[in-house]
Amino acid sequence: MATRGSRPGGTLLLVVLLQQAACQAAGGCGGEGSPLEPFDSLYAGGVEAYYGGDFAAAARCLERALRSRRELREARLRCRRSCRGQVRLEELGSGPGGELPFWGALLRRAGCLRSCEEARLGAASRHRAAEEVRADFQRRVPYSYLQRAYIQLNQLEEAANAAHTFFMANPEHMEIQQDIENYKTTSGKVSLIDREAKPHMEDYTAGVRHYDREEYGLAIEFLERALVGYYSEDEDCQIMCEGPQRFEEHEYLDYKASLYEAVADHYMQVLACKHDCVRELATRSGRISPIENFLPLHYDYLQFAYYRVGDYVKALECARSYLLFHPDDEDVLENASYYEGLLEGTMDPGTIKPRKEAKALLRRHKLESHLLQVASAGLGFAYTEPNYWKRYGARQDEHSVPSSISNEPEEGPRLSLAKKPTPKPDRELKEGGPLLYSDVKFVYNSQQLNGTQRVLLDNVISEEQCRELHRVASGIMLAGDGYRGKTSPHTPNERFEGATVLKALKYGYEGRVPLKSARLFYDISEKARRIVESYFMLNSTLYFSYTHLVCRTALSGQQERRNDLSHPIHADNCLLDPEANECWKEPPAYTFRDYSALLYMNADFEGGEFIFTEMDAKTVTASIKPKCGRMISFSSGGENPHGVKAVTKGQRCAVALWFTLDPLYRELERIQADEVIAMLDQEHLGPSEMNINPKDEL
């Protein structure tokens, strides 16, 4: 298949789907009708039409794919709600056969669901999209294609909305942000509608915005509407969890569990999904971490807003609703007591109860937690209960959190803000230590790079060593990111290849590459480690956490009008949350990493600049053009978000190094490589010709 331009996003599997779909018809996708068309084949047809230059068909198919996916969810929700109402599950009876009414009702409900869904959707297998395709829709990749198609059709408002929708879930794409700015310039005033926005989240954001402006009536209107939307979405989330589940620890055909074990396995997967709806509803699109304390915050804002408009009954009701989640919150306890005092003499404050929907949700949530803990203890079901309602954690909400009011005669009731103390560094930060090697050239320090714990150096290795390392790289690299073997882990527009130190030494020992060249990889990484440890004046040993020789190659025919990055903006030891300007130091981030370094091997490529940004993942603070022997090193935390611009021509190669101060997280392959080096030295195979003995001064 001939491609035109670059892929705005997508997966390798999509290529197969494209070939299968073959546009389905001259119009780019099949005709509408019943049953519902599978969204994955519509998506494939749309992308095929896009690369075939038929942008009208591309837009039509992609829009229909998005609509089909929404209608698929709505159809399943309707059927599951309907069958819940038609067939109620019976209670278990006593004695022999007492369970039969329950299982009979279960079978009738299953039959109801199948009949209902097949009438609208056809066979269930038609809508089982591959995981990679579902991930594309989760990341809103179809909107990236739509944007480009609408540009070609000169439909700039639709293009702007598609770009904005994509950007809301992919804030690391600086190019798409620039596209949006261009739309504002060329199209005048654009509304920038997020077509996938969650209504309850939009209402919450609007309510808080009005609250901050002291527009309390409007704040109440939006926050109350947000609560209605939240509980509606919670019900939908619960229902959607009742779909198929994956048994990650079991191979289906070899699964030999008994009846009750099999039912328990499936139900625990469903229950864990339902229990996590709290997190799902609190997480903005494209974000990893939820808004902390999200549902209770609605009641916290409302209790003070109702007080400010003089509705003390509602203020007390919302305060008591908040206290369901945090019964020991002293600030809101004081607020509730104050509201009670305002109501005394006119009514009995004891008649004001927390809201029923909040009580019901919290009661259900606690029971879910109990059952999951029981399964964890008795069935070996792996589960750890998160703190879903924590008030303070890795970050503070971007808006003021109402907490306490007091009756001061000269001012009346007022709001005081609870502040989270600023976290202190876990060690003293220093820099400017000796570089140890006379040939290494200092270029920029942290201040000159507009950041913290950053250094740029040149001549860390020579031109000859760069060439030799590049030669050995071509003989030992395999496609993949070194972690999960994905050939294009960050962008489908580049091929990603890498190799570890141990693999290089193994190939050298076996004679598959020159042993001296393989040893060079080991030696230069050790040289880099010593420089980083010395320059940042670390008081303890710096250990290797991971060492990877990496090359990124621009794929031919896929570079025109690229809008992605070679490596999206991220931090190395925490989960970057650009909207909150915070970085969550929690798994799956490599939280044990302390310092990072990139040692470049070549400059004969286009693009590929290394960039630092602010924590918003948008504002570039420094840009570095790679070249042979250049090394950038920095601390691995949220103070140093970074990424790589698109490699648009040629191949960019570097040695990527991550270090830790904790010996428990030393790189296992490095320890094994040390043993190989010791063995080679004993066999008098000698070190490489590289001088690795540090000197006392620059």
Q: How far is CA 471 from CA 479, 514, 693, in A?
A: 16, 10, 25
Contacts of 36 (CB under 8 A, 6+ apart): 68, 71, 72, 75, 120, 121, 122, 127
Cα-based torsion angle of the residue sequence 657, 663, 665, 668 in order, rounded to the nearest 10 degrees:
80
How far is the C-alpha of 547 from the C-alpha of 240, rounded, in Å?
42
Which parts of 394-514 fold into alpha helices (H)?
Answer: 463-476, 501-509
Cα-based torsion angle of the residue sequence 178, 183, 184, 187 in order, rounded to the nearest 10 degrees:
160
**Cα–Cα–Cα angle for 279, 285, 290, nearest 5°?**
30
Of 161, 111, 113, nearest to 140 by C-alpha is 161
How many CA atoms does the CB half-sphere of 416 hold within 13 Å?
Answer: 14
Strand, coil or helix: what is 189? coil
> Which residues is 478 bridged to in the sheet?
498
CB atoms within 10 A of CB 680: 19
How many CA atoms does the CB half-sphere of 520 hold within 13 Å?
Answer: 23
Helices 39-51 & 12-21 angle (0-180, nearest 10)? 90
The residue with tokens 């794929």 is 555
**Cα–Cα–Cα angle for 153, 156, 161, nearest 5°?**
115
How far is the C-alpha of 333 from the C-alpha of 202, rounded, in Å?
29
Q: Which pair of tokens denotes residue 614?
A: 């602010």
Contact 518, 468 (CB under 8 A): no
Of 630, 455, 637, nearest to 532 by C-alpha is 455
Strand, coil or helix: what is 50? helix
How far is the C-alpha of 387 from the C-alpha of 326, rounded, in Å?
12
Which parts of 579-655 fold into alpha helices (H)?
Answer: none
Question: Is position 652 annotated as part of the catalytic site?
Answer: yes
Contacts 24+ apart (CB under 8 A), 421-430: 427/539, 427/661, 429/453, 429/536, 429/635, 430/536, 430/537
How far is the C-alpha of 326 from the C-alpha of 346, rounded, in Å?
28
Cα-based torsion angle of the residue sequence 322, 325, 327, 328 in order, rounded to the nearest 10 degrees:
-100
Q: Which of 148, 395, 593, 652 is catalytic?
A: 652
**Cα–Cα–Cα angle for 205, 207, 211, nearest 5°?**
115
Of 643, 642, 630, nearest to 600 by C-alpha is 630
Q: Which pair of tokens denotes residue 619?
A: 């504002």
Radius of gyration over every alpha carbon of the chain, rounded to an integer in angstroms: 29
How far is the C-alpha of 302 from the C-alpha of 298, rounded, in Å?
6
Which parts of 643-685 fold into alpha helices (H)?
Answer: 668-682
Of 612, 606, 694, 692, nearest to 650 by C-alpha is 606
Instruction: Give the residue numbers annotated as catalytic, written as ranges.
Output: 652
